[in-house]
Amino acid sequence: MALHSAPLRSRSHRTIADLAETLPLAWESLLANRLRSILTMLGVIIGIAAVIAMVSIGRGAQLQTENQLKSLGSNLLFVQSGVATTSSPALLGAGSATTLIWDDAKAIASACESVADVAPVLNRRTQVVHAQLNTSTTVVGTTPEYVRVRDFLPLTGRFFNQIELLRSARVAVLGQTVVDSLGLTPGSALQQTIRIQGEPFTVVGTLEYKGVNSFRDMDDQVFIPLTTMANRIVGVNAVTGIALDSISVSARAAGQMDAAQYQITNLLRLRHRIVPPRQDDFLIRNQADLLSASNSVAGIFTALLGGSAAISLVVGGIGIMNIMLVSVTERTREIGIRRAIGARSSDILLQFMIEAIVLSLCGGLLGVVLGIFSSLLINLALGWKAGLALDALLASLLFCLVIGVFFGAYPARKAALLDPITALRND
């Protein structure tokens, strides 16, 4: 037998040649069934876009909460009355019993080295009336230090002063939400008389906007002197002095937060005669605790959103598998022809795998575009400054590739295992 002049058949060389050949072929077959391809990709497009948009919404919410917590004031500590029943920052027992008094606040101010300012707080939710309008709001009894502790600045007029505090003056400072609800403007509100539980108060100032944080509307508050609050609104005066809901404390510097917390804890234990094993009857929280609590909530939120979006990505993958199976059935004859003229079953496998991957990656890229677009839109609409979730973007594209491989594998294998002669006879 004469030696056949066989062409060079280097398998590794062949595979590369195949890839170069198969990619345009795959593209071609997607274009040939344009509507079908787009509908198939839609699942992946929506999935990817949803993952990117959801994750960036989650991140945006997180950033927003962070900013709001920071806007509460700087180096802030909250001393809450009540029994701390858990060690978690989520306050379960606090506030259930009133154990703090004004003298505690005064003691903290005078005795704790690391403390800059102290503002005692006594709140009630109640009706505030002006002319025919009334609103249900939080009335906060405090001292003039509140302004420094919580970074509240007057927009018009002024905060009440030390003299008004001592005299139990009936003066009030309004947050902007209250100003609006009472049909007033920051300018017109000054010197108006409002009624809190029937008592007339003169408005001496309105506060600048603080916005809504995750706990409440910071502008939906009315501030009056603590003394007036205790005497006229709450009407209960403990024998030991004015009872408080909480004390807001600012530390001298960020580095002194821990020191301030330690000093306050010791001082209050001393004053309240708390000796182990008795539990503290107060709880101190700092901004970092709140931040980490809200961050962990936001993290769960983001994971939940991203996770449910990822499910739609899997659904999209099933769509790809479905259409690839249809494609294999439709192209059985083509597979037979290719097998007859020398395509190995691995060549057929590769061809259909590449088609599935091209399908899922095209969907992925379109999804990325849609995702970026919609997260920009959301950020614009909500005024958030969350960046693009680049990691989510890369992860979802990678996921797309995995989906293409995973859901393309079964149809491609089915194509590769077709018997050439059966495939050829197929019409």
Partner 1 sequence: MLRLEKIGKTYRMGDLVVPVLRGIDLTILRGDYIAIMGASGSGKSTLMNILGCLEQPSEGHYYFDARDITKIADDERTDLRNYRIGFVFQQFNLLPRLTALQNVMLPMVYAGYARGERRQRAQRMLVDVGLADRMANLPSQLSGGQQQRVAIARALVNQPDLVLADEPTGALDSRTGEEVMDLVSGLHQSGITIVLVTHDSGVAACTQRIIRLQDGRIIADG
Question: Which residues contact partner 1 by CB under 8 A?
Answer: 1-2, 4-11, 13-14, 17-18, 20-21, 28-29, 32, 333-334, 336-347, 420-421, 424
Measured from the CB of residue 36, what is the shortest distance to partner 1 in angstroms?
A: 15
Cα atoms found within 13 Å of the Cα of residue 77, Cβ hemisphere only: 30
Nearer to partner 1, 252 or 344 (CB): 344
Cα–Cα distances (Å) from 134 to 131, 202, 373, in that order, read: 8, 16, 43
CB 318 within 8 A of CB 410: no
Instruction: State how far the Cα of 181 lies from the Cα of 128, in Å rounded to an integer.
Output: 10
DSSP-assigned letters across all residues of 195-222 = EETTEEEEEEEEEPP--B-SS-BTTSEE
Minimal distance in Å, beta carbon 326 to partner 1?
16
**Residue 27 vs 262, nearer CB to partner 1:** 27
CA distance 87 to 409: 51
Q: Which residue has the tokens 């000093």?
A: 263
Listed in sequence order, the residues at least 6 apart from 278 whose beta carbon sits closer than 8 Å to its beta carbon are: none
Six-digit token string for 15? 């595979």
**H or E stretch at 78:** strand 76-81
Contact 313, 399 (CB under 8 A): yes
How near is the Cβ of 415 to partner 1 at its closest, in Å? 15
* Least CB distance to partner 1 at residue 47 (A): 29
Shortest approach of partner 1 to residue 418 CB, angstroms? 12
DSSP 129-186: EETTEEEEEEEEEE-TTHHHHTT--EEEE----HHHHHTT--EEEE-HHHHHHTT--T
Helix (H) or strand (E) holding 194: strand 193-196
Q: How far is the CB of 417 from partner 1 (least distance, A)?
A: 10
Which one, 198 or 342, has the nearer CB to partner 1? 342
**294 and 69 Cβ atoms separated by less than 8 Å:** yes
Q: How many CB atoms lie within 10 A of CB 361?
A: 17
The least CB distance from residue 382 to partner 1, in Å, is 48
* Joined tokens for residue 113: 């080295």
Q: Which is nearer to partner 1, 36 or 333 (CB)?
A: 333
Closer by beta carbon to partner 1, 274 or else 424: 424
Least spacing, CB of residue 337 vs partner 1, in Å: 5
Cβ proximity to partner 1: between 28 and 391 the closer is 28
Q: Which is nearer to partner 1, 276 or 342 (CB)?
A: 342
Indicate the residue among 210 and 338 with the shorter CB distance to partner 1.
338
CA dist 231 and 168 (Å) reads 8
With CA atoms as reference, report the closest residue to 412 among 351, 337, 369: 351
We find the least distance from the C-beta atom of residue 355 to partner 1, in angstroms, to be 13
- Nearest residue (CB) to partner 1, 89 versus 420: 420
Which lies closer to partner 1 via its Cβ, residue 398 or residue 421? 421
Asked if 126 and 137 count as a contact pair (C-beta separation under 8 A), the reply is yes
Cβ 42 vs Cβ 34: under 8 Å: no
Smallest distance, partner 1 to C-beta of residue 22, A: 9
